Amino acid sequence: MPRLCFPALGTIAAMALRRGQVRQNLRRYLFNPSRSISSSAAYNIEGKNDNKSSKNELELAKFAAMSDTWWDSEGPFKPLHAMNPTRLAFIRSTLCRHFRKDPQRPRPFEGLSIIDVGCGGGILSEPLARMGATVTGVDAVEKNVKIARLHADLDPMTSTIEYHCTTAEKLVEEQKKFDAVISLEVIEHVANPAEFCQSLSALTISGGATVVSTVNRSMRSYAATIVVAEYLLHWLPKGTHQWSSFLTPEELVLILQRASVNVKEMAGFVYNPLTGRWLLSDDISVNFIAFGTKFDQ
């Protein structure tokens, strides 16, 4: 599996830092505590149905219909579905190595507690549970969590997942800790990525693992993600992404480093339009995923 290791990235990051624009962006990420983390507008479906005491059957039916969208592999979340086996292969291989688990076993993550931050409909949480992990999924949007719950209950292998409507920072306040903290395709939707990384790190046990994936802020990613995915292929609803809020790999490495997470491995996802499959590659110019370990401050 092709991957970039941290020292190489450190150099890239150092080089990139010489560019003023990057420095400015970094300053925005690192020193802007006033912007609180909130869910992105694209996922903010107004959810007033918080009355837990009496179930509204009509609303339940609506959630189920929505659940068909999160879980429709040809629907708006098609790219996440298509990418899933590829990013899970990366997670499987890095976590098995880090936690010394046997990758030949069908459920290698048995005994590991994993939190999926920004779990959406649970596209990532469910496979993690099937791989044996004790999974907690959290999302800022109540409806997503309900949809995730409904879907996970369809399979006894995934019905053990705990879903909560909350944010990473609330869990930090509650002093929750996990062996591994995973947050895929979320950081580009939060208000303050640096603070978000601080929270992810705070949720990770010392010596544990943090995995983050996102879209690179390169011209190619602009073309690939916003123009192609949102406007041409209609894979994603228009306005899902704001290009200016994308992080470059070197920025991500730096803000994770400041949050006591050492990025050890990084890989890119490359889409092959002929096979419709995503491949892991060392090309991190569009989509990339980073695996890091938490060190003691």
Partner 1 sequence: MNRAVTRTLSANTHHLRLCRRTLCSATTDHVYHATPGEVNDNVQPYDIAIVGGGMVGMALACSLATTPLTKHLKVAIIDANPALTNQVPINREDPPDPRVSTVTPATISSFKDIGAWQYVQQHRHAYFDKMQVWDYTGLGYTKYDARDVYKEVLGCVVENKVLHRSLLSRIEDTDFGKTIYPSRLMSMSLHPSSSSNIVDDTSSAEALYSRGRLAKLELSDQKSLYAKLVVGSDGAKSQVRELMGFKKTGWNYSQNAVICTVEHSVENHCAWQRFLPSGPIAILPIGDNFSNIVWTMNPKEASDLKSLSEEDFVKAVNHALDYGYGPHPRPSLLDSSSMFSWLGGNMTITSNASFEVPPKVVKLASARMSFPLSLLHANNYASKRVVLIGDAAHTVHPLAGQGVNLGFGDAFALSRTIAEGVAVGMDIGEVSVLKRYEAERRPANIGMMAILDGFQKAYSVDFGPLNILRAAAFHGAHFILPLKRNIISYASGEQRLPLFT
Ligand X SMILES: C[S@@+](CC[C@H](N)C(=O)[O-])C[C@H]1O[C@@H](n2cnc3c(N)ncnc32)[C@H](O)[C@@H]1O
Helices (H) and strands (E) in the chain, counts: 10, 9
Torsion over CA: 121, 127, 129, 135 (sign): negative
Q: Decide: is 192 part of the binding site for ligand X (CB under 6 A).
A: no
Nearer to partner 1, 127 or 292 (CB): 127
Q: Decide: is 194 part of the binding site for partner 1 (CB under 8 A).
A: no
Q: Decide: is 106 part of the binding site for partner 1 (CB under 8 A).
A: yes
Which residues, numbered 102-131, are part of the site for ligand X (CB under 6 A)? 117-120, 123-124
From first CA to last CA, the distance across the chain in angstroms is 31
Provide the 10 A C-beta neighbour count for residue 233: 11
Tell me the pairing of strands 113-117 and 134-139.
parallel
User: Tokens at residue 56, please?
Assistant: 């509204």
Nearer to ligand X, 6 or 204 (CB): 204
Out of 40, 134, 158, 225, point to the residue binding ligand X (CB under 6 A).
40
245 touches which of partner 1, ligand X, none (CB within 5 to 8 A by kind)? none
Which residues, numbered 150-189, are part of the site for partner 1 (CB under 8 A)? 151, 153-156, 159
Q: Residue 118 annotated as binding?
A: yes
225 touches which of partner 1, ligand X, none (CB within 5 to 8 A by kind)? none
CA distance 94 to 163: 24
CA distance 155 to 94: 26
Can you point out the beta strands (E) in the chain? 4-5, 113-117, 134-139, 162-165, 178-184, 204-215, 261-272, 277-281, 287-294
Out of 1, 5, 8, 60, point to the residue binding partner 1 (CB under 8 A).
60
Dihedral of the alpha carbons of 157, 163, 168, 170, in degrees to the nearest 10: -140
Nearer to partner 1, 121 or 208 (CB): 121
Binding site for ligand X (CB under 6 A): 37-40, 43, 80, 117-120, 123-124, 139-141, 144, 167, 184-186, 189-190
Binding site for partner 1 (CB under 8 A): 60-61, 64-65, 67-68, 71, 73, 81-82, 84-85, 88-89, 92, 103-106, 126-131, 151, 153-156, 159, 275
Annotated binding-site residues for Mg(2+) read 185, 188-189
